[in-house]
Amino acid sequence: MSLDSPPTTSDRQLSAVSRAGTSEKARRPKALLAMTPASLADLVFGAGWPGLHERIELLSPGVVTDWHLVDPAILAQTEVIVTGWGCPAFTAELLELAPGLKAVVHQGGVASTQLPPGAETRIRFSNAGDANATPVAEYTLAMILLANKDAFRATRLYRGEQAAIDREERFPLSGNFGRTVGIVGASRIGRKVIALLRPFDLHMLVSDPTLDPQEAELLGVELVDLDHLMASSSVVSIHAPVLPSTFEMIGANQLGLLETGATLINTSRGELVDQESLLAELRTGRINAVLDVTTPDVLPPGHELYSMPNVVLTPHIAGSMGNELARLGEHVLAELDRYRSGQEFAYPEVPVW
C-alpha cells in the first residue's frame, strides 16, 4: 500500500491487533467459522480473513455451512465459534459433540437463537447488534429528513411535469424546521435515531411502555402514548421489537390518526404493522410510507406496494450491506480480543428463550 493510499478493510482489521495490544504469541483459541453463504466471510473479514487468523486457530480451512459435514473430532476441539447470518442451527446433539465450546461470537444481531435452550449455562454469547444498528439509524435519518422535505413527492412531480415547479405554491408546508417526528420504540436503533436527530430543528416524541419519564428527559424526547404520537407527528418511524404485544401494533385506528401528508417509516419488521390496513390508507393517497420491511419480507411479484406512487419500497437494505459489513467484522475481532485476554465481552448477550 502506498503512503497516500486509503486503508483497506484488511489494513484496518490488522491495525486493530496493535490497538488491542495483542501479539503473535497471544493464545489463539481453536475455533470454527460458520455462516451462509460462505462468500459472506470475505465481505465481513476481508479476503483471506487476516484478522481472524491473527486471533483464532481455525480448525477448518473453509466456512462451515452444514454441521453434518464437520468431523466430530474437530468439534471436540472447538472452543469458540464465530457465526454470521445464515449460520446453520445448533442442536443439542451438536453441543454434545463440542463439550469444550465456551463462546459464540456472532456477526449478526442475535446469537443465542442459533442454539437450543440451556446452552447459556456453559457458553458466553456476543452479538454485533449495536454495530448493525448504526446503518439502520443512518438510513432512518436520511428518510426522515427527505420525507419532511417532500423530496419523494417532488421527484414524482418533476418527472411527470418536466417543467419548472413553483415550490412555494406546491410545497407550502414542506421542510424540517420545527416539525414533529415520532419514534415508536426506544430500542437500540431507536436511541441511535434520536441521537442522530438532535442537531436538527425537530421536536421528538417517543412511545415506549418500557421507557420512564426521567430517561425520556435525558434522551431529550417527549414521552407520549402511541395514539398521541401518531396524531402529532409528520413522520413516524418504527423501531420496536416483534413481541406478542407489538404484533400489528400499528393498525387501522393508528393509521387513521396520521395527519394528511404524514409518512410512516418501517425499518424494523413488517409484522409490527397491519399491512392490509396500511394498504387501505395508502390507496387513498392521504399518507406516504417508506418501507424497508413488509409481510412477507419479500413481496410476491405484482404486489401493489411495488407500484404505489406514495410508497418508497427498499429491499431490506437499512441494515449492514456493502462496505458496512466490514464494521461488523471489526466488531467481531474486537470481541475476540477481549475473549483472548480474559475480559468480558463488551456486547454480551443474555439469552431469552
Within a domain: residue 287?
yes
Separation of alpha carbons 160 and 156, rounded Å: 6
Q: Are residues 166 and 53 in the same domain?
A: no
Q: How many domains does the chain have?
A: 2
Separation of alpha carbons 55 and 273, rounded Å: 43
The predicted-structure confidence for 41-81, as pLDDT tens digits, reads as follows: 999 999 999 999 999 999 999 999 999 999 999 999 999 99
**Confidence band for 26, pLDDT divided at 50, 70 and 90:** confident
Backbone phi, then psi, for 262, in 5-degree steps?
-70, 160
Within a domain: residue 254?
yes
Q: Are residues 208 and 305 in the same domain?
A: yes
Q: Are residues 33 and 145 in the same domain?
A: no
Q: Are residues 102 and 48 in the same domain?
A: yes
Q: Are residues 187 and 203 in the same domain?
A: yes
The predicted-structure confidence for 162-172, as pLDDT tens digits, reads as follows: 999 999 999 99
Q: What is the CATH number of the domain that holds 165?
A: 3.40.50.720
The model's pTM is 0.88
Q: Are residues 107 and 177 in the same domain?
A: no
Predicted confidence at residue 352, as pLDDT, reads 61
The predicted-structure confidence for 111-122, as pLDDT tens digits, reads as follows: 888 788 877 778
Within a domain: residue 168?
yes
Within a domain: residue 345?
no
Q: Are residues 70 and 178 in the same domain?
A: no
Predicted confidence at residue 217, as pLDDT, reads 96
Q: Which 3 state secondary structure label does DSSP give 191? A: helix
Q: Are residues 288 and 170 in the same domain?
A: yes
Within a domain: residue 49?
yes
> Which H or E element spans position 236?
strand 235-238
Write out the residue range of the structural domain in which residue 334 sits: 9-127+322-340
Q: Are residues 180 and 225 in the same domain?
A: yes
Within a domain: residue 62?
yes
The predicted-structure confidence for 106-146, as pLDDT tens digits, reads as follows: 999 888 887 888 777 789 999 999 999 999 999 999 999 99
Our measurement of the distance from residue 288's CA atom to the centroid of its chain's CA atoms, rounded to an integer in Å, reads: 23
Q: What rounded mean pLDDT belongs to the chain?
A: 92
Within a domain: residue 2?
no
pLDDT > 90: what percent of the chain?
86
Within a domain: residue 206?
yes
- Which cell numbers hold the place of 49? 480473513
